A and B are shown apart, each in its own frame.
Chain A
Amino acid sequence: MTSATQPITVLISALGGQGGGVLAEWLVDVAREAGYAAQSTSIPGVAQRTGATTYYVEVHPVPVAALGGRAPVLSLLPVPGGIDLFVASELMEAARSVQTGMASAERTFVVASTSRTLTTTEKMAQGDGRFASDRLQDVLRRHSRRLAAFDMEGAARDAGTVVSAVMFGAIAGSGVLPFARDAYEAAIRASGLGVDASLAGFALGWAAVQAEDRPPAAAATEPPAVAPSSPATAAFPAAARDIVDIGYARQIDYQDVAYADLYLRRLDRILAAERAVDPAASHGHALTRETARFLALWMAFDDIVRVADLKCRASRYVRVRREVAATDGDVVRIVDYFKPGAAEFAALLPAALARRVVAWDRRRQLCGKGPFALALHVRADGMFGHATLRTLASLRWLRRRGSRYAAEQAAIERWLAAIEAAARDDWTCAHELALCGRLIKGYGATNDRGKDNLAHIVDHLAAGGAFAGAVERAAAIRDAREAALADEGGVALDRMLAQHQVPPRAVRPQPIVWTKRRPAPSAPSGRG
């Protein structure tokens, strides 16, 4: 057996463009200046500023002077379980490296950012595709000798620098490498670019890692606006009332008190149905609560009036200034992108008139023209633009007379009736149906698709269909809901429907310009 003096190993996981290269260079410089043999390597990935990259640094723990002229052999590849310090600028990438077995509870000090840079697959899901952050953090905690998790992105933002400076501070603060703080800071100074900001970021990283393992920083969202309890909602159980309150206020804000009362009358029916099927409230009135949630959103469906209303509120201008980080001295100009089509205008017209508008638009499309739509750029901060929005916002009275209002109310009633009916014999079925309100979202085609899917579930799964029992039916409704959210084309949903011998959804006509390529002209004479 030969025993080798083990090198001190540092694995760094970053995303393209986060300055990982500079970080590795700094580390090697620090080691060299301190008189130690050090080496860094990297898999930088492509020139693009995305995608995951890793940097690997080895430092031989014995000063070069004490090696008698012999050079230690340093590895270019990290060894699973052989990492002393693992630093990651993004939570999921941290977990990814742990998954490859790099970090170990015996040896590895893990410093990870709690911040997430969501992957495209997580972002593009129709529902919520985000991977659970707490699960990622648990994995880090389980497979690290010690874990320091903090928001590196936030720290970098506060210091006005890139995340690599914060990571550098964290590496220094971890004490895994035998170098003094000023040695690290000297390396930053020597680099000569954005020194002060880098040093500020370094300090934050140092401080954060010195503090003990901390809980994840809460996701950056404003506290939910809780509507003041209204006497009108007093009849509802506490378990559901907060949602009912918000829903009630939403309807008043959207239309008027009469509309809000309609909201409550509808909910009363559901509450009654739930009390009948679950007198002991063993489900904590979840049926009423979830129906209240989705009914509120559905009843306040987005139309031209609603959107105009939301776009010209004083609070909105303030929010925009905040989101674009405008300081008081700055002037902010806002351009909104609207593209109302025939359907949006028809929505506000009486049914008869609306039908003719829609029919005209369909004829257009059949002659190969695109659907009618007004592509508008509205200067929401300008006099004219704002006036336009205010005018549109004042058309609430028209909404009630519009064709869409009638259509939406009918669809809502169908859904509620289905929930009531289901509740008569099984709470779970009713609950699953209520949750299907989630399918109603978006604008134009997206919104239509959602309503079609819900209608199909109501017609063929809530009622009818061959199911062994309520449990199977409830499961089928849940599966259908999830399938409907799985892909835009509805492939998953159709597959799922087929499994349950349920009739497929009606195909929506999509006009396509079909050009048949003419056979190629006679081939040229062969080359000489």
Chain B
Amino acid sequence: MEVSFSNEARMLRRGHGETFHGEGILAITKALLQSGVAYVGGYQGAPVSHLLDVLVQSKDYLDELGVHVEACSNEASAAAMLGASIHYPLRGAVTWKSIVGTNVAADALSNLASPGVTGGALIVVGEDYGEGASVIQERTYAFALKSSLLLLDPRPDLARMVRIVEEAFLLSEASNMPAMLQLRIRACHVRGSFACSDNVAPPMSAKHLLDDPAAFDYARLAHPPVTFRHEKLKSSERLPAARRHIVDNGLNETFGGTRADLGIVVQGGLYNSLVRALQQFGLADEFGTGAVPILCLNVVYPLAPDQIRDFCAGKNAVLVVEEGQPEFIEQEILATLRRQSVATAIAGKDVLPMAGEYTVEALARGLAAFLDRHAPDLPLHAGRAWLAATDARRDAVAEELGAPLPPRPPNFCIGCPERPVFAALKLAQQDVGRVHVAADIGCHSFASFEPFSIGHSILGYGMSLASRAGVSPMMRRRTLAVMGDGGFWHNGLLTGVSSALFNRDDAVLLIFKNGYTSATGTQEILSTPTDAVKEASTQKQESLVHTNQTIERTLQGIGVRWIRVVDSYDVNEMRRTLDDAFTADFAGLKVIIAEGECQLERQRRVKPWRTGLLKRGKRVVRVKYGVDEDTCSGDHSCIRLSGCPTLSVKASPDPLKVDPVATVLDGCVGCGLCGENAHAASLCPSFYRAEVVQNPGWHERLLASVRRAVTQSRPAT
């Protein structure tokens, strides 16, 4: 990738006596090194992509430490990597986006958790939940429960998050359980500071290699009959050991309060929001201390029954603040207290929302309901007034706006190579009729938004081809599956292509070969053009993905007989190829590879290159498209076929025309789609392509001046 994390990498080197400044996810990364991890792996995905990005770019430093870093092909391979900690006292960490990544990793996770680990194993999951989330809203907690994994949910304070990571390894080793650490989106991006300690070079590492493999030990295999014993061990030894460690080392925190009859049990990650909610009612000061005692669970699984009992016993009522569904923690607390015959009333999802992010407002409304019931004496008017005012203000604004604001979903980048393909697909459906489109995870899923509104289902990353296997046999017309090369390498090759081939499916697969997993931050994959090729290219704006044929060769290798590679910007050719795929006699799997390098990466190459040339007074050609305002009739069909951020509308300068006309804004990268569409869809003659030559040669200037003399000689009519 072209993005540089050199500053972040420098932060990682800081040691004792220095202070770290930066984002939460980078603090976690630093904590891994302070914990002496020997190996790190993972699969990119917001909000944890940076963990891997930064480490991959810090290779030199990690080599010094002897830490091995691996960008895994998917979460399953990342989880399996932790197998190293089963036999060997190696600390390892992997990371991915949850819930989806955890789903993919589930098989390896179960087989890791069953024998358990010797060296501390930590999985840093980005809990992609609530505002800004891009995946289905489920909790990672269920996996911790079913596989007996430790689950940590630290209070979002950098120093605390770092300490909890360090503790997680100790806890994992004390209980032989793999640990998961969940970070919500805002916690990953929270910017703060903490006092560093030195990074620890692992005793056994890529530098200090193991001499011999471990002795054969059947008990460490996830294989019957020992799996039966493993299950018993989980409840008889590992969980109890974990609970002891959690209590003995004070991993969970209690914050005192004046009202001994009340209490709140909260997931660590929600602590700050809870404090702010309490402040709305004047029940906490700026340091979080106030009326209601709080038990802050930095470890949310397992819970320590004694700790729960000790906190709740003698109180009238305790509120459990637990985000998402179902309410695992609340249920366990209820069961714990019932078993120990503690009569304290427990509130939770009965006053707080079952689903959705716990914003300060949501928490405040829940608190109000809880305190009404159990501490009516507390003065809540201030908070109530604030909530009422908020409701009133929202109604007023809705009233004043008159109409709902149009949404602003994410969109393909300016000049994205995927946009033209959906324009072609829209046109192809005019030729062959409507088509069932199995969509996938990746930038191309933005085609589900306006102006394309394309895609019938999304079943997971790389799952599109597999997800139409039941549809095609039921449909008269052929179906289409779209997939990025990210999805292809993550999962699509096996779950989709091999299955379709084996079953001799009559299917059409379109692969976006843009060279990166762009939606996660343009990380590199098997089909990424090499650095050598990028160096060698003389025109930095040109797409280089054609230089990497791995996907084509792989498909041929496993027996795909119908493969077409099309320049993704060539709308006409793509339309023809799609028509062909939908109508061809060939009944097997047909694969169309749309070739066009991710524009984000190209622009990151182009900008410095172009500035350099201009500085040196060298010739530079800049391409921009435009619309002639006097021939544009303001129908906007061009926009309905593009949706490019730089193809917009403006008030028509013609006083006769009431509708706005199309216009191309600054920022157009000259990808060519406007012209392609104008021809492919016979739109209108308003589009022009302008090539601006900066620092032209003398002969160029001469020719241009002659031309100008001729072309502009005509008197204005």
Residues of chain A whose beta carbon lies under 8 Å from any beta carbon of chain B: 1-7, 15-16, 24-25, 28-29, 32, 39-52, 60, 70-77, 79-82, 92-93, 95-96, 98-101, 104, 117-131, 135-136, 138-139, 142-143, 157, 219-222, 224-226, 242-243, 246-247, 250, 253, 293, 296-297, 302, 307, 309-320, 323-327, 329-339, 341, 371, 373, 375, 380-383, 386, 390, 438, 441-446, 488, 510, 512-518, 520-521, 523-524
Any chain A CB within 8 A of the CB of B520? Answer: yes
Contact check, B403 vs A219: say whether CB atoms are below 8 A apart: no
Any chain A CB within 8 A of the CB of B287? Answer: yes
When C-beta atoms are compared, the residue in chain A nearest to B678 turns out to be A337
Any chain A CB within 8 A of the CB of B187? Answer: yes
When C-beta atoms are compared, the residue in chain B nearest to A40 turns out to be B191
List, in ascending order, chain B residues with CB within 8 A of A309's CB: 717
Any chain A CB within 8 A of the CB of B195? Answer: no
Q: Among B272, B432, B443, B504, point to the contact of A524 (Cβ < 8 A).
A: B504
Any chain A CB within 8 A of the CB of B59? Answer: no
When C-beta atoms are compared, the residue in chain B nearest to A301 turns out to be B633
List, in ascending order, chain B residues with CB within 8 A of A39's CB: 190-192
Q: Among B398, B446, B715, point to the contact of A99 (Cβ < 8 A).
A: B398
Residues of chain B whose beta carbon lies under 8 Å from any beta carbon of chain A: 21, 46, 131-132, 134, 156-157, 185-187, 189-193, 271-273, 275-276, 279-280, 282-291, 359-361, 379, 386, 389-391, 393-394, 396-398, 400-403, 405-414, 430-433, 443, 446, 449-451, 472-473, 475-478, 502-506, 518-522, 579, 582-583, 587, 600, 622, 624, 626, 628-631, 633-637, 639-640, 643, 645, 647-651, 653-660, 664, 666, 675, 678-679, 682-685, 687-696, 700-701, 704, 707-708, 710-717
List, in ascending order, chain B residues with CB within 8 A of A315's CB: 716
Contact check, A246 vs B503: say whether CB atoms are below 8 A apart: no
Please report the C-alpha to C-alpha distance between residue A4 and residue B288 in the assembled complex, in whole angstroms. 9
Contact check, B690 vs A333: say whether CB atoms are below 8 A apart: yes
Contact check, A52 vs B408: say whether CB atoms are below 8 A apart: yes
Contact check, A311 vs B635: say whether CB atoms are below 8 A apart: no
Q: Among B273, B396, B430, B694, point to the contact of A77 (Cβ < 8 A).
A: B273
Q: Among B131, B157, B684, point to the contact of A442 (Cβ < 8 A).
A: B684
Given contact pairs A101-B397, A319-B628, A446-B633, a sample of 17 additional A-B residue pairs in the complex whose CB atoms are under 8 Å apart: A2-B283, A43-B132, A71-B157, A75-B273, A76-B273, A81-B389, A99-B398, A131-B406, A157-B666, A302-B633, A316-B628, A326-B690, A334-B690, A335-B675, A390-B714, A488-B637, A515-B583
Q: Among B272, B290, B450, B710, point to the contact of A386 (Cβ < 8 A).
A: B710
Please report the C-alpha to C-alpha distance between residue A330 and residue B651 in the assembled complex, in whole angstroms. 29
Contact check, B639 vs A43: say whether CB atoms are below 8 A apart: no
Distance to closest chain A CB from B74 (angstroms): 19
Q: A44-B132, A125-B636 are in contact. Are A119 and B685 (CB under 8 A)?
A: no
Contact check, B192 vs A383: say whether CB atoms are below 8 A apart: no
List, in ascending order, chain A residues with CB within 8 A of B289's CB: 2
Contact check, B651 vs A221: say whether CB atoms are below 8 A apart: yes
Contact check, A222 vs B659: say whether CB atoms are below 8 A apart: no
Please report the C-alpha to C-alpha distance between residue A117 and residue B654 in the assembled complex, in whole angstroms. 22
Contact check, A48 vs B410: say whether CB atoms are below 8 A apart: yes
Please report the C-alpha to C-alpha distance between residue A446 and residue B504 in the assembled complex, in whole angstroms. 43
Contact check, B637 vs A317: say whether CB atoms are below 8 A apart: no
Contact check, B630 vs A310: say whether CB atoms are below 8 A apart: yes
Q: Among B431, B626, B656, point to the contact of A246 (Cβ < 8 A).
A: B656
Contact check, A314 vs B186: say whether CB atoms are below 8 A apart: no
Please report the C-alpha to C-alpha distance between residue A482 and residue B152 in the assembled complex, in whole angstroms. 57
Contact check, A337 vs B502: say whether CB atoms are below 8 A apart: no
A-B contact pairs, 12 of them (CB 8 A): A47-B522, A49-B413, A70-B287, A76-B156, A124-B639, A127-B634, A250-B656, A311-B685, A314-B711, A332-B693, A381-B704, A381-B711
List, in ascending order, chain A residues with CB within 8 A of B475's CB: 517
List, in ascending order, chain B residues with CB within 8 A of A157's CB: 666
Q: Among A50, A77, A381, point to the contact of B411 (Cβ < 8 A).
A: A50
List, in ascending order, chain B residues with CB within 8 A of A310's CB: 628, 630-631
Please report the C-alpha to C-alpha distance between residue A360 and residue B519 in the assembled complex, in whole angstroms. 48
List, in ascending order, chain B residues with CB within 8 A of A333's CB: 690-691, 693
List, in ascending order, chain A residues with CB within 8 A of B647's CB: 123
Please report the C-alpha to C-alpha distance between residue A317 and residue B628 in the assembled complex, in whole angstroms. 10
Please report the C-alpha to C-alpha distance between residue A124 and residue B658 in the assembled complex, in whole angstroms. 16
Q: A75-B273, A337-B689 are in contact. Are A312 and B656 (CB under 8 A)?
A: no
Contact check, A314 vs B707: say whether CB atoms are below 8 A apart: no
When C-beta atoms are compared, the residue in chain B nearest to A387 turns out to be B710
Please report the C-alpha to C-alpha distance between residue A412 and residue B440 in the assembled complex, in whole angstroms. 50
Q: Among A4, A297, A375, A381, point to the contact of B286 (Cβ < 8 A).
A: A4
Q: Among A243, A314, A338, A446, point to the contact of B712 (Cβ < 8 A).
A: A314
Q: A50-B410, A515-B582 are in contact. Are A75 and B360 (CB under 8 A)?
A: yes
Please report the C-alpha to C-alpha distance between residue A424 and residue B284 in the assembled complex, in whole angstroms. 76
Please report the C-alpha to C-alpha distance between residue A389 and residue B476 in the assembled complex, in whole angstroms. 48
Distance to closest chain B CB from A239 (angstroms): 15
Please report the C-alpha to C-alpha distance between residue A121 and residue B452 in the assembled complex, in whole angstroms. 11
Residue from the set A45, A131, A515 with the largest chain B CB neighbour count within 10 Å: A515
List, in ascending order, chain B residues with CB within 8 A of A443's CB: 633, 682-685
When C-beta atoms are compared, the residue in chain B nearest to A318 turns out to be B712
Residue from the set A314, A331, A390, A442 with the largest chain B CB neighbour count within 10 Å: A331
Q: A139-B397, A315-B716, A517-B472 are in contact. Are A95 and B405 (CB under 8 A)?
A: yes
Q: Among A4, A51, A320, point to the contact of B408 (Cβ < 8 A).
A: A51
Q: A139-B401, A320-B626, A339-B682 are in contact. Are A512 and B711 (CB under 8 A)?
A: no
List, in ascending order, chain A residues with CB within 8 A of B659's CB: 127-128, 438, 441
Please report the C-alpha to C-alpha distance between residue A316 and residue B679 in the assembled complex, in whole angstroms. 22
Distance to closest chain B CB from A256 (angstroms): 11
Contact check, A337 vs B360: say whether CB atoms are below 8 A apart: no
Please report the C-alpha to C-alpha distance between residue A73 and residue B360 in the assembled complex, in whole angstroms. 13
List, in ascending order, chain B residues with CB within 8 A of A329's CB: 694-696
Contact check, A331 vs B403: say whether CB atoms are below 8 A apart: no
Contact check, A76 vs B624: say whether CB atoms are below 8 A apart: no
Please report the C-alpha to C-alpha distance between residue A101 and residue B360 in the assembled complex, in whole angstroms. 13
Q: Among A120, A126, A323, A488, point to the contact of B449 (Cβ < 8 A).
A: A120
Please report the C-alpha to C-alpha distance between residue A314 and residue B476 in the assembled complex, in whole angstroms. 56
Contact check, B635 vs A50: say whether CB atoms are below 8 A apart: no
Contact check, A317 vs B708: say whether CB atoms are below 8 A apart: yes
Please report the C-alpha to C-alpha distance between residue A338 and residue B685 in the assembled complex, in whole angstroms. 5
List, in ascending order, chain B residues with CB within 8 A of A6's CB: 279, 286
Q: A73-B275, A488-B637 are in contact. Are A79 and B280 (CB under 8 A)?
A: yes
Contact check, B473 vs A520: say whether CB atoms are below 8 A apart: yes
When C-beta atoms are compared, the residue in chain A nearest to B133 turns out to be A43
List, in ascending order, chain A residues with CB within 8 A of B391's CB: 101
Q: A39-B192, A124-B450, A246-B656 are in contact. Are A77 and B186 (CB under 8 A)?
A: yes
Contact check, B433 vs A514: say whether CB atoms are below 8 A apart: yes
List, in ascending order, chain B residues with CB within 8 A of A516's CB: 476-477
Contact check, A336 vs B287: say whether CB atoms are below 8 A apart: no
Please report the C-alpha to C-alpha distance between residue A56 and residue B156 in the assembled complex, in whole angstroms. 15
When C-beta atoms are compared, the residue in chain B nearest to A290 turns out to be B658
Q: Among B405, B432, B692, point to the contact of A131 (Cβ < 8 A).
A: B405
Distance to closest chain A CB from B267 (angstroms): 13
List, in ascending order, chain B residues with CB within 8 A of A139's CB: 397, 400-401
List, in ascending order, chain A residues with CB within 8 A of B587's CB: 518, 520-521
Residue from the set B393, B639, B683 with the largest chain A CB neighbour count within 10 Å: B393
When C-beta atoms are compared, the residue in chain A nearest to B433 turns out to be A512
Please report the C-alpha to C-alpha distance between residue A50 and residue B419 in the assembled complex, in whole angstroms. 14
Contact check, A332 vs B690: say whether CB atoms are below 8 A apart: yes
Contact check, B643 vs A120: say whether CB atoms are below 8 A apart: yes
Contact check, A512 vs B678: say whether CB atoms are below 8 A apart: no
Distance to closest chain B CB from A238 (angstroms): 16
Q: Which 10 A-B pairs have the closest CB atoms?
A: A51-B410, A43-B132, A224-B655, A442-B635, A441-B633, A50-B411, A75-B276, A331-B693, A314-B712, A335-B689
Please report the C-alpha to C-alpha distance between residue A118 and residue B450 in the assembled complex, in whole angstroms. 13
Please report the C-alpha to C-alpha distance between residue A1 and residue B692 in the assembled complex, in whole angstroms. 68
When C-beta atoms are compared, the residue in chain A nearest to B432 turns out to be A513
Please report the C-alpha to C-alpha distance between residue A341 and residue B666 in the assembled complex, in whole angstroms. 32
List, in ascending order, chain A residues with CB within 8 A of B682's CB: 339, 341, 371, 373, 443-445
